Chains A and B, each alone.
Chain A
Amino acid sequence: MRAFTFQRVAAAEDAARALATRPGAMFLAGGTTLVDLMKVDVLTPDTVVGVQPLGLSNIDVSDDAIVVGATVTNSQLAWHPVVRDRYPVLSEAILSGATTQIRNMATIAGNILQRTRCSYFRDVHALCNRRQPGSGCDALEGFNRGHAVLGVSEHCIATHPSDMCVAMVVLDADVHTVRPDGTTRSIPFREFHRAPGETPHIEVALEHGELITRIAIPHLPAARRSHYLKVRDRASYEFALASAAVVLDLDGDTIRAARLGLGGVASKPWRALETEHFLTGRRASDETFRDAAEIALTAAVAREHNHFKIELAKRTIVRAFSTARNANV
């Protein structure tokens, strides 16, 4: 690990200001991404500013929304009784990721900012446009079984690893931030993460020094009928090969509205809006869900080892929707 200065600050605005004048400085929350990647020299901050003591750790519940502080842990959010009741898809997504130890450390903001698990990104001896802009991408012709098929480019095919973010994008959460000059803003979750395009190193909509303070999840009565299905190589403690976050609003057996998010197959938390539009007003049958799944994967582009993900994602979508349809709510 490279040497760095550890800085303690008292307030969110101080943390943002502490980064503003130091291009090499980074925030530290739970550490499950940052410390891990510092140990392998992928991240080499010269200053680390701890944000966990800043008091951004409340979950505020109202009729309109649930507002989650940036350093609420993944466990706290997944286990919260109101989250479990109103947004099962969110609890399920979080509980399907990592292990209890890691979920107890990992924060909500940290989860949103977690980096890809692409082995070429994690290996400083490999070529990676995300880690080192313009250097090339060893994944394109390498072992790319775990890589993305949606939202990819010829510069990067890394998968976004988060389960929680797939639920967040489906719930249309808002990310609230404070900037070094003290101004605040909110960024819709769908606009927060960037597909790689020609600039895979630009992953999110944040400016340097901009600190996430809280996430607002709007009230969505239909989310009581929601589900997260994750398919992976092991039964536990493994990243998704494919996952689907679904919300179904039913009128009898007719779909009033549906939402679909995909994980494990895309470069960012993926929202399938065209598919949702297709589902509106149709009968909630497995045939409808299969047709919807075809639409969701129309734009998929596979490489040598990850072609199986396209069919796997389709089946994951069908099963997630049929499970949600059959659930007692």
Chain B
Amino acid sequence: MSQAGNAPPEENLVRTTLRVNNTTHELSHDSRLTLLDALRDTLGLAGTKKGCDQGACGACTVIIDGQRVLSCLTLAAACEGQHVITIEGLAQREELHPMQAAFLHCDAFQCGYCTPGQILSAVCAIQEVHAGVPSHVTPHVRQKVSGAALSDEEIRERMSGNLCRCGAYANIVAAVRQVLSSEVGS
């Protein structure tokens, strides 16, 4: 009885094929399910965090088809056929992604709740810098930015979608800078 009461009416069920960290899942779900809740509650991938649940904090950041987005404002039903990368999919087997290693090395977190979103966002921010695309603080949008000469102001602007209530920002900027320097240097 209670089960029937909780199940969505038939017309509100959606079937969605979701690829997460290279694994394909066939979901049959309530149309209201967000990608964030699908990852955490349906697939058990609790690394993606629910902060504000209204698109303001960035804790739920994931990468869809190469772009960083907010999973709390994304309906699971809208992700048909898309490839989602979460924090669980970033390391190669036992080897941490360079951004994960840099966050450890620079002590770029305190409580750790915003960290998965920060790291995924930073990974994409660096790809965007390598692509040369401008940000709001780039002196002119015609200009191509360069990773080697990127200012702290640029890093802060590009990471402004991820809040850290412990205030670890200085070390987060340092971690991003460390990865940029190692990639530009290599």
Which A residues are within 8 Å of any B CB, using their own CB?
1, 3-6, 8, 28, 31-32, 35-36, 39-40, 48, 50, 52-53, 73, 75, 78-79, 84-85, 88, 91-92, 95-96, 98-102, 104-105, 235-237, 327
Contacts and interface: CB of A to CB of B under 8 A. Distances in A.
B136 A101 contact: no
Contact of B70 (A3, A105, A327): A105
Nearest to A238: B160
Contact of B74 (A3, A105, A236): A105
A6 B75 contact: yes
Contacts of A8: 80
Nearest to B65: A104
Contacts of A48: 31, 75
A73 B58 CA distance: 18
Given A91-B141, A236-B160, A32 B55 contact: yes
Nearest to A73: B67
Contact of A99 (B78, B133, B134, B160): B160
B157 A31 contact: no
A3 B12 contact: yes
A314 B83 CA distance: 47
Interface of B: 8-9, 11-12, 14, 30-32, 34, 53-55, 58, 61, 67-70, 73-75, 77-78, 80, 121, 124-125, 128, 131, 133-136, 140-142, 156-158, 160-161
A95 B135 contact: yes
B141 A84 contact: yes
A104 B12 CA distance: 28
Contacts of B61: 101
A8 B157 CA distance: 36
A3 B7 CA distance: 11
A32 B141 CA distance: 25
> Which of A31, A50, A75, A92 is most buried by chain B, counting CB atoms within 10 A of its CB?
A31
A327 B143 CA distance: 13
Contacts of B67: 73, 75, 104
Nearest to A230: B136
Nearest to B136: A95
Nearest to B121: A101
B134 A102 contact: no
A1 B12 CA distance: 13
Contacts of A327: 140
Contacts of B77: 6, 50
Contacts of B158: 100
Nearest to A5: B11
A96 B61 CA distance: 20
B68 A100 contact: yes
A105 B141 contact: no
Given A4-B12, A91-B134, A236-B156, A100 B128 contact: yes
Given A3-B32, A84-B141, A104 B78 contact: no
Contact of B53 (A39, A84, A85): A39
A35 to B, nearest CB: 5
A91 B74 CA distance: 25
A1 B61 CA distance: 21
B133 A28 contact: no
A104 B67 CA distance: 7
Contact of A237 (B8, B31, B160): B160
- Counting from the closest, the 4 A-B pairs by CB-CB distance are A99-B161, A236-B160, A6-B31, A91-B141
B186 to A, nearest CB: 25
Contacts of A95: 134-136, 141
Nearest to B135: A95
A3 B31 contact: yes
B31 A100 contact: no
Contacts of A104: 67-69
A101 B32 contact: no
B44 to A, nearest CB: 22
